[in-house]
Amino acid sequence: MASNHKLVCARAARRQFGGAFQQAVRDYRGAKLSALTLAKGLEERLPDGLSYLPLAFLYDEEVAQLSWEGSVARANAEARARQTNFRVMARTRPLQPQELEDKLYESISSERGNNAIVVHDGRVHRDGRTIYAVHSRFCLDAVFHERADNQEVFEEAVQPLLNASLEGGRATVVFFGQTGTGKTYTARGALDLMSERVFQKTDNVEMCCYEMAGTRGGREAFFDLLAGEEKRQVKCLTGEDGNVHVRGAQTIVCTSRTELCNAMDKAFLWRSSECTERNEASSRSHCILEFKFPGPDGESSGLFRVVDLAGSERNFETQMHSRSMAERGGLINYSLLMLKECARVMHNKQKDLEGPEMHVPFRSSRLTHLLRSSFTDDSHMTTVVATLSPSPTDVEHSLNTLQHVGMMRSARAWEKWSAAFQEAPEAPVTASAGFDAVQGRGRALHSKLQDARKGQLNLHAFQMKTAVGGSIMKKYEAQSAKTETFIDARWHRELNVKVQDDLWVLRDADAEATQILSSWKAEQWAASKVHDLSRWSAETLQAFLRTLDLPGEVRIPSTMTGAQLRRLGRRGLAALCSDAETAEALALALAGESQAGKAAAAAHRSTNIRMTALGNHKVHAAIEPFEPEIEPEAVDASTHAHAQHEPALATAAA
């Protein structure tokens, strides 16, 4: 049954209207398949744009257009074969049994031939009544769908790096993504296969393993995982070659697969992990495994590094965390944030969006400090594997992960690609196409989110009339279980919805509210100055005089300001007027202005009290309780009426 409140939150709507969103995904996939079939025969014969028209009859026009473009242009089909030292891939895990039990559906499509991931983002229009789906395509270097196994990922993502380091090079594979999406699963699978292959090419491997976690004092530090329970702290220093090395970590020399597997098992045993809402064995640290292989002269020279990052989490996923978990989680999130920030700055520098002097903050976290050469050294081979969850409840996470890996991709590979295009200008692939799409999408999403939040802010923060004529109020229940009540004027229906479900949205709205209301306050301050004579400039004073219909003449110099006029006092003012009547009228008009200023301040006072509460992030406290005036019969009748109203599903393509 449709619920107006739930429509405010996209996450809730994705569950509640799963059927409609699933249909949107099916339509997208169907249109894509038809486009692929059609493209074979029509692509070359029909002019651009015309050929996708048959699809538009069958599917939503924009979906058909997006699918057609993707299948015909194959904008990114060659990415997989392109030889660059920095590659970005994505792996989507299958839906977990619990998610299947909750009747969740796949909201990600992997376009393997096109090396692209399409995220189907079910959204709610800000009118709160229409749901729509946005299909966003992200072009990467390779993608792995839900059924791909570790072997496939290993061969595509890890094997080339392993080969390069066995030949004496430096290589890093980074697993990056939301918590519970399979970073450790993929990393362990890859390590297992690596242990099998590596001894075919060498007879001894040096291994060390350490994790980046928080210390008791709340600082980031590296701990040796091979040192067992005591977890000795190790140092991270910049060497003469400019690369960052870890000093003091125990190194194990392995001469067989069994020894290497035992060493890795030991390291993972001591790695910090805890049970969280999202993952029974969630990693609470960034784990780094380093393998060194003997060079031709017998000394170890090749370096192969596997970085299994801790997962990013959102507020609503950390409600059950203990204080110490929250503290450690804070550090982890900070380092991930810095990694994203480095990617953003590097990307902006490449695109000339920020000046060349803009500093990339690699030193702001130990993690970014360590990974610096992976992003800046052209000879260092790096693959970032983004792991994604197909669940519709994780769409925001998936978009965020893909946007950031997209930035990393464009930042590091840009120069190489642009050089390649200069050599072959007629090449059909455009290097930035993938990223431009990502960035454009990011901007569009951001502004949509802002809109949604603003709309929501109106609903949550004030007892205001909503765009559709309803009004919002809050109620409190025992055990501080907050309940929201939404009165929909259209159906006269009262809905009680547990706030917990949507608390994260509210928190965002709180923060947004504080920001918006601060600027509102500034506007109020500016507005209050309008009536304050002592702040008037000479021009404002003259403009004010022109609006007055005075009986006589006023000889106020054109350079005189409001403050100067005020200092003249009543007698001085009378001296500037042609007669007593005019002086009286002018004095009255000025007094009226001062009264208007006071009235405006009084009118804003109650709002200001609410704003102060909002400033303290207490949106709920800022709302006064308010009893609805609804007749029980009206509620029943409307419930029935509303049940028949199914929201329209509009589809938008981006």
292 marked as part of a ligand binding site: no
Candidates 16, 85, 283, 456; binder of ligand ATP (CB under 6 A) is: 283
70 marked as part of a ligand binding site: no
Candidates 22, 71, 110, 181; binder of ligand ATP (CB under 6 A) is: 181
CB under 6 A: which stretch of 196-204, 224-232, 279-287, 326-334 binds ligand ATP? 279-287
Candidates 310, 336, 381, 408; binder of ligand ATP (CB under 6 A) is: 310
The one-letter amino acid code at 142 reads A
515 marked as part of a ligand binding site: no
User: Smallest distance, Å, CB 31 to ligand ATP?
Assistant: 27
Candidates 136, 387, 391, 582; binder of ligand ATP (CB under 6 A) is: 387
Orientation of helix 366-376 relative to helix 323-350, angle to 10°? 30
255 marked as part of a ligand binding site: no
Maximum pairwise Cα distance, the chain: 110
Between CA 98 and CA 133 the distance in angstroms is 24
Candidates 70, 122, 128, 182; binder of ligand ATP (CB under 6 A) is: 182
Q: Kindly state the tokens that stand for 592.
A: 């009226």
Q: Count of CB atoms within 10 A of residue 244's CB?
A: 17
User: Smallest distance, Å, CB 140 to ligand ATP?
Assistant: 17
Examine residue 329 and tell whether it contacts ligand ATP (CB under 6 A). no
CB under 6 A: which stretch of 173-181, 327-335, 535-543, 577-585 binds ligand ATP? 173-181
CB under 6 A: which stretch of 280-288, 339-347, 485-493, 577-585 binds ligand ATP? 280-288
250 marked as part of a ligand binding site: no
In whole angstroms, how far apart are CA 367 and each of 33, 120, 186, 191, 505? 42, 32, 20, 21, 30
Angle at 9 between CA 26 and CA 480, to 5 degrees: 140
Examine residue 180 and tell whether it contacts ligand ATP (CB under 6 A). yes
Examine residue 94 and tell whether it contacts ligand ATP (CB under 6 A). yes
| Three-state secondary structure readout of 156-187 | HHHHHHHHHHHCCCEEEEEEEEECCCCHHHHH
Between CA 307 and CA 309 the distance in angstroms is 6
The nearer residue to ligand ATP, 237 or 281, going by C-beta atoms, is: 281
183 marked as part of a ligand binding site: yes
Examine residue 400 and tell whether it contacts ligand ATP (CB under 6 A). no
CB under 6 A: which stretch of 182-190, 198-206, 294-302, 549-557 binds ligand ATP? 182-190
How many residues at the interface with ligand ATP, by CB under 6 A?
A: 18
324 exposure class (CB count in 10 Å sphere: 0-12, 13-18, 19+): exposed
Examine residue 152 and tell whether it contacts ligand ATP (CB under 6 A). no
639 marked as part of a ligand binding site: no
Between CA 196 and CA 256 the distance in angstroms is 9
Between CA 337 and CA 325 the distance in angstroms is 18
User: Smallest distance, Å, CB 119 to ligand ATP?
Assistant: 18
Examine residue 185 and tell whether it contacts ligand ATP (CB under 6 A). yes
Examine residue 390 and tell whether it contacts ligand ATP (CB under 6 A). no
CB under 6 A: which stretch of 63-71, 178-186, 329-337, 623-631 binds ligand ATP? 178-186
The nearer residue to ligand ATP, 60 or 313, going by C-beta atoms, is: 313
CB under 6 A: which stretch of 242-250, 275-283, 373-381, 550-558 binds ligand ATP? 275-283
Partners of residue 136 on adjacent β-strands: 119
User: Smallest distance, Å, CB 281 to ligand ATP?
Assistant: 6
Between CA 3 and CA 494 the distance in angstroms is 10
CB under 6 A: which stretch of 81-89, 174-182, 499-507, 565-573 binds ligand ATP? 174-182
Strands (E) located in 241-308: 244-247, 252-254, 273-274, 282-283, 286-294, 300-308
Examine residue 274 and tell whether it contacts ligand ATP (CB under 6 A). no
186 marked as part of a ligand binding site: no
Between CA 438 and CA 443 the distance in angstroms is 9
Q: Kindly state the tokens that stand for 140.
A: 């990467």
Q: Kindly state the tokens that stand for 173.
A: 């594979």
Residues 34-93 that bind ligand ATP (CB under 6 A): 93
Give every strand in the sheet of 482-488, ordered side by side: 471-476, 482-488, 493-498
- β-strands 170-177, 381-388: how paired? parallel
Q: For the chain, how big is the Rg over CA atoms in Å? A: 31
- β-strands 220-224, 131-139: how paired? unpaired
Between CA 459 and CA 455 the distance in angstroms is 7
Name residues whose C-beta falls within 8 Å of residue 309's C-beta, 6 or more positions apart in sequence: 174, 175, 176, 177, 183, 286, 336, 339, 367
User: Smallest distance, Å, CB 240 to ligand ATP?
Assistant: 35
Candidates 107, 282, 318, 383; binder of ligand ATP (CB under 6 A) is: 282
Examine residue 311 and tell whether it contacts ligand ATP (CB under 6 A). yes
- Binding map of ligand ATP across residues 538-557, x = CB under 6 A, - = no contact: --------------------
CB under 6 A: which stretch of 278-286, 351-359, 476-484, 638-646 binds ligand ATP? 278-286
Q: Kindly state the tokens that stand for 154.
A: 């290993």
Examine residue 157 and tell whether it contacts ligand ATP (CB under 6 A). no
Is 225:287 a contact under the CB 8 Å cutoff? yes
User: Smallest distance, Å, CB 540 to ligand ATP?
Assistant: 60
Examine residue 183 and tell whether it contacts ligand ATP (CB under 6 A). yes
Examine residue 286 and tell whether it contacts ligand ATP (CB under 6 A). no
The nearer residue to ligand ATP, 188 or 232, going by C-beta atoms, is: 188
Q: Kindly state the tokens that stand for 98.
A: 């619990």
Closest CA to 243 of 287, 301, 198: 301
Rule CB under 6 A: which residues touch ligand ATP? Answer: 93-94, 96, 177, 179-185, 279, 281-283, 310-311, 387
Q: Residue positions in the annotated binding site for ATP? A: 177-184
Q: Residue positions in the annotated binding site? A: 177-184
